[in-house]
Amino acid sequence: MIRELRVGLAEGNVGTADGRVSALLVPALGTHRATVTLGHGAGAGMTHRSMEAIAEAFADVGIATLRYNFPFKEQGRSRVDAQAVSTATVAAALDCARGESPGPHLLGGHSYGGRMASHAVVDHGLDVAGLVFCSFPLHTPAKPGTKRAEHLDGIAAPMLFLSGTRDGMAQPELLNDVATRIGATVNWLDTADHGYKVLKRTRTRTDGVFEEMAHYASAWLDAVLPA
């Protein structure tokens, strides 16, 4: 059962007409283990099929999700918001999740949404049980580097990276180096690209990519949040 919510944002922090953005809560199926507040990428909103598929797969392993729109997507604009607006949105969405779904509470998102979640933890001092990065955009395809991950050193919470082996925005050697430096976990999604498209002929796993993501997230939870 999906619950439609509205996330209230502090006046002056966002450009939405009524200071609110949309959100969708998908409760865990069976035993609740955690709730993750998930932000979308720069190119698609919270209702994109990949965001929906992640939420459904996570629900199957006991992880509830609260997806939300950033103001630019709520207003139908193509250009992303300023970082201050985006991080304020993340913080407000987390507050909404805390009031609507049981903890422990995690933060994360796809691509841009995950990156802004990490900045929100640093910029707003958010206290979360962990972060889940789905296709973290470590660099642009044309300029490999790790500058976008420098702020992650300031995060004490456990971190999980779920990245495709064909993701052009996260070269494996670079992301592995970052993960080693900050003590994070990386799980590589078999033949997936940045948008979770897989090569069916060469993929060795028999499950789907979103089920694969949920499997890794479940095992990570077992390690960082033992019962």
pLDDT digits (tens, 9 = 90+) for 19-69: 789 999 999 999 999 999 999 999 999 999 999 999 999 999 999 999 999
pTM for the whole structure: 0.95
What is the domain partition of the chain in residue ranges?
3-224
Bond from prior residue into 104 cis (ω within 30 degrees of 0): yes
Regions of the chain where pLDDT drops below 50: none
pLDDT score at 10: 67
Phi/psi region, residue 194 (left: phi>0; alpha: psi -120 to 50; beta: rest), is alpha
pLDDT score at 136: 98
Question: If 0-12 CB within 10 Å is exposed, 13-18 middle and 19+ buried, where does residue 201 land?
Answer: exposed
pLDDT score at 13: 55
Q: What is the fold, at CATH topology level, of the domain defined by 3-224?
A: Rossmann fold (3.40.50)
pLDDT score at 226: 75
Q: Contact at 8 Å (CB) between 70 and 88?
A: no
